[in-house]
């Protein structure tokens, strides 16, 4: 039986990856320090014989007894408000954390895939973004702690691959959504849906002309799985190229939720990327992968999930802190 370590396992993506690898018949070792993750996302897996959980910070030395075939390094704060609240941990998990994972992969002769991101492209001047674009990142801006950690993570991963021969994969994920996103982490989709459910106006930052391209989580997980099983070690974009302005996105959420709330405009955060859309030609050719779930379907499933949350969960509003952290 193959054994896989998933870091960030209690997070949004990590928990879906745990589900997938259990389904593939593997033994899943889940690791999380629960700073931004939530055990609720994986509690359904605890009774399973082939699932175990380590409450551990990946930035500290990792010891896993026994054989290990795959490592998925998905631990990291992943929303702009998180980077602003916990910048040092964000840097550490993307540097010390990956160093530990790579050391473990080398020791165990395991194949490692790292969670990279469209943030490595920064506020891109090339559109859509192919893997060959090197990016436009402000290292000392509010997003620098995340963007540079992820860029360092790619660099050290390639170094272990070329110098030590560790089998590595790099997935550059674009905006992803689905059930188990944290409702109140400030990201746009949970922000809008949460506002609609609570009966608040939807807060569009700037004039809403900035674009994003949203991928449903099941599509992303499929892309990650295929990349891990491939023999390609350079970065691969996985995302949905269906691009939309944030203003139109707010209108879609208003329609979806049937809310009578309005759109209000707030100041655009510093270094907010103006446009983002993946060029997925490489993933199509290499992995025969492309997204299947249309936004209308994915949003419906996600909305149903959020509607099922408790009143306490719905009313815990972390994102109102945003202005405090969004220093210019």
Q: Which of 80, 87, 122, 178 binds ligand UDP (CB under 6 A)?
A: 80
* Of residues 122 and 235, the one with the C-beta less far from ligand UDP: 122
* Residues 46, 69 contacting (CB under 8 angstroms): no
From the list 55-63, 96-104, 161-169, 186-194, the region that binds ligand UDP by CB under 6 A is: 186-194
Count of residues near ligand UDP by CB under 6 A? 15
Active site residue 305: no
Burial class from Cβ neighbours inside 10 Å (0-12, 13-18, 19+) for residue 98 reads buried
Is 204 a binding residue for ligand UDP by CB under 6 A? The answer is yes
* Of residues 164 and 274, the one with the C-beta less far from ligand UDP: 274
Residue 50: CB minimum distance to ligand UDP, A: 34
Residue with tokens 């000392």: 140
Is 278 a binding residue for ligand UDP by CB under 6 A? The answer is no
Helices (H), ranges, 62-205:
80-85, 87-108, 144-164, 188-198
The one-character DSSP state at 42 is: T
Question: What are the residues whose beta carbons fall under 8 Å from the beta carbon of 217, sequence distance 6 or more?
Answer: 12, 13, 16, 176, 177, 178, 179
Taking alpha carbons only, the member of 168, 310, 161, 178 closest to residue 230 is 168
Is 183 a binding residue for ligand UDP by CB under 6 A? The answer is no
- DSSP SS3 for 195: helix
Q: Which of 95, 203, 233, 245 binds ligand UDP (CB under 6 A)?
A: 203
Q: Which of 191, 193, 224, 282 binds ligand UDP (CB under 6 A)?
A: 191
Q: Which of 150, 212, 277, 295 binds ligand UDP (CB under 6 A)?
A: 212
Q: Which residues of 176-193 are buried (b: 16+ CB within 10 A; e: fewer)?
A: bbbbbbbbbbbbbbbbbb
Out of 70, 146, 160, 225, which one is annotated catalytic?
146
Residues at the interface with ligand UDP (CB under 6 A): 79-80, 175, 186-188, 191, 203-205, 210, 212, 246, 269, 272
* Residues that are catalytic: 146
């Amino acid at each position: 039986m193959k054994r896989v370590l998933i870091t960030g396992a209690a997070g949004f993506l990590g928990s879906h990856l745990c589900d997938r690898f259990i389904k593939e018949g593997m033994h899943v070792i889940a690791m999380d320090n629960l700073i931004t993750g939530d055990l609720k996302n994986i509690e359904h897996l605890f009774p399973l014989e082939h699932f175990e959980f380590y409450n551990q910070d990946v930035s500290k030395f990792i010891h896993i007894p026994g054989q290990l075939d795959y490592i998925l390094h998905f631990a990291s704060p992943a929303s702009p408000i998180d980077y602003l609240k916990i910048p040092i941990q964000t840097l550490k998990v993307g540097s010390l954390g990956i160093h530990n994972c790579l050391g473990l992969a080398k020791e165990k002769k395991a194949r490692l895939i790292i969670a990279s991101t469209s943030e490595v492209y920064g506020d891109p001047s090339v559109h859509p973004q192919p893997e060959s674009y090197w990016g436009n990142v402000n290292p000392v801006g509010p997003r620098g702690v995340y963007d540079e950690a992820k860029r360092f993570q790619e660099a050290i991963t390639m170094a272990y691959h070329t110098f030590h021969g560790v089998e590595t994969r790099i997935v550059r994920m674009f905006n992803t959504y689905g059930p188990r996103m944290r409702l109140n982490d400030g990201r746009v989709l949970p922000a809008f849906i949460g506002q609609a459910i609570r009966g608040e106006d939807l807060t569009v930052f700037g004039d809403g002309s900035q674009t994003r391209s949203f991928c449903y989580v099941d599509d992303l997980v499929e892309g990650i799985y295929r990349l891990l099983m491939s023999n390609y070690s350079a970065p691969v974009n996985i995302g949905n190229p269906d691009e939309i302005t944030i203003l139109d996105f707010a209108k879609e959420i208003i329609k979806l939720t049937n809310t009578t709330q309005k759109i209000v405009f707030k100041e655009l955060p510093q270094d907010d990327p103006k446009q983002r859309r993946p060029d997925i030609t490489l993933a199509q050719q290499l992995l025969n992968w492309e997204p299947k779930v249309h936004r209308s379907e994915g949003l419906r499933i996600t909305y149903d999930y959020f509607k099922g949350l408790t009143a306490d969960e719905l009313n815990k509003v972390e994102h109102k802190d945003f202005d405090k952290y969004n220093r210019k």
